[in-house]
């Protein structure tokens, strides 16, 4: 299997399966001399880990990161940073019923057809558990980019939408509720809806929005490595993501050029920011903002018709511990992937002049 490495200079390779001994990663290309706050890294993992509230999967994992290289006396050494996160609460028997059958809208069928084998325990390598390693790497990237501020939050659950402009939101409110929506009223509405969906044995999708403050001018490498293209690839690599839009996104297609153009101020900033902080594939110094759409979790606690490895139609009963909605736990993953894109481009930008 290829495709387990992300980045060009700040490279992250992840490994491990959902029900294996551990997951982990190797970060290559992190600059030396960065003082790391390990508590902040662990805090990012705690935001993503399962079992943290009543509206997420109840798998109980401490998700404690253990570093094995690349850090000495609190500082990065410039050598590869190796780390693991041990799996502590696997219940592989929960998946014995799908050993020979394929869950609808999962990677079961495609993995089996591509590789001729699959780890059916929790999805193996295709499980979203892999994203914990990304969060570790992203937390380190954030500390390299100490002048940037990443704010991801839940802006929609199903048809419940937070339609406020991000400029009106208080991001300090995001972590004060289990949905991670910065509007307390909408957050409660979303929470109750997720609980209702869970009681029905069903799941629901949603949207995570992200705003990045303090991005300098000049990040992004045209033509094929435009900054928004790299962000799009990063977000679309996250499990369950179905869509990505930045700036005005699809709404911008409805406007005239006279309405959509961001006119300049004398200092190079713009009066509006429909460009989403990126022009010509390069950051322009304005806030970068984008939306990431997540589908409903494919495993539902209802009987579904599917096929087994012989092509026979069978009835599958949903079992195991699964999120009724992934977006609350996806918030730190979105921030992590955004940080990985920006740190890579920040390092690459050092060679531009």
pLDDT value for 124: 77
Q: How is residue 150 written in tokens?
A: 């990443």
- Mean residue pLDDT across the chain: 94
Query: For a pLDDT cut of 70, what percent of the chain falls above it?
Result: 97
Q: What separation in angstroms does the CA of 43 have from each of 37, 124, 273, 305?
A: 10, 25, 32, 40
Q: What is the CA radius of gyration of the chain?
A: 21
What are the backbone angles phi and psi of residue 192, rounded to the nearest 5°? -65, -35
Q: What is the mean pLDDT of residues 322-351?
A: 96
d(CA 157, CA 206): 4
- The model's pTM is 0.95
| pLDDT tens-digit readout, 267-311 | 999 999 999 999 999 999 999 999 999 999 988 989 999 999 999
> What pLDDT score does 95 carry?
63
* Residue 58 CB coordination number (10 Å): 13
pLDDT on residue 91 = 57
Cα–Cα distance measured from residue 212 to residue 334, given in angstroms and rounded to the nearest whole number: 11
State residue 93's pLDDT score: 56
Residue that has been written with the tokens 């200092």 in this structure? 267
Cα of 199 vs its chain's centroid, Å: 26
Reported as a single tens digit per residue, the pLDDT across 306-333 is 999 999 999 988 776 778 999 999 999 9
Report which DSSP code applies to 214.
-
Residue 37 has pLDDT above 90, yes or no: yes
Indicate if the pLDDT at residue 2 is higher than 80.
Answer: yes
- At 190-234, the pLDDT tens digits run 999 999 999 999 999 999 999 999 999 999 999 999 999 999 999
Mean pLDDT across the stretch 128-155? 97
């Amino acid at each position: 299997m290829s495709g387990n490495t992300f980045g060009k200079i700040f490279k992250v390779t992840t490994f491990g399966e959902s029900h294996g001994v551990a997951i982990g990663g190797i970060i290559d290309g992190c600059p030396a001399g960065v003082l790391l706050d390990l508590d902040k890294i662990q805090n990012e993992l705690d935001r993503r880990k399962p079992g943290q509230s009543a509206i997420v999967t109840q798998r109980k994992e401490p998700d404690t990161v253990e570093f094995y290289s690349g850090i000495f006396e609190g500082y990065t050494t410039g050598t590869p940073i190796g780390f693991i996160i041990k799996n502590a609460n696997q219940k592989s028997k929960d998946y014995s019923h799908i050993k020979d059958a394929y869950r609808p809208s999962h990677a079961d069928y495609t993995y089996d057809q591509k590789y001729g084998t699959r780890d059916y325990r929790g999805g193996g390598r295709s499980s979203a558990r892999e994203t914990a390693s990304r969060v570790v790497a992203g937390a380190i990237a954030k500390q390299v980019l100490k002048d940037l501020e990443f704010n991801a939050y839940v802006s929609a659950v199903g048809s419940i939408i937070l339609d406020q402009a991000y400029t009106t939101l208080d991001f300090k409110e995001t972590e004060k509720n289990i949905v991670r929506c910065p509007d307390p009223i909408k957050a409660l509405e979303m929470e109750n809806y997720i609980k209702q969906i869970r009681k029905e044995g069903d799941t629901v999708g949603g949207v995570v929005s992200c705003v990045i403050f303090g991005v300098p001018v000049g990040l992004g490498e045209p033509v094929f490595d435009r900054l928004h293209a790299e962000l799009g690839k990063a977000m679309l690599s996250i499990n369950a993501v179905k869509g990505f839009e930045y700036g005005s996104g699809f709404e911008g297609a409805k406007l005239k050029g006279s309405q959509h153009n961001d006119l300049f101020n004398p200092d190079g900033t713009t009066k509006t920011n429909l460009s989403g902080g990126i022009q010509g594939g390069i950051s322009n110094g304005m806030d970068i903002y984008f939306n990431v759409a997540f589908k409903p979790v494919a495993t539902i606690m209802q009987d579904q018709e599917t096929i087994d490895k012989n092509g026979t139609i069978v009835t599958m009963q949903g079992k195991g511990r699964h999120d009724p909605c992934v977006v609350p736990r996806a918030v730190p993953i979105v921030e992590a992937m955004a940080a990985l894109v920006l740190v890579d481009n920040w390092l690459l930008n050092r060679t531009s002049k």
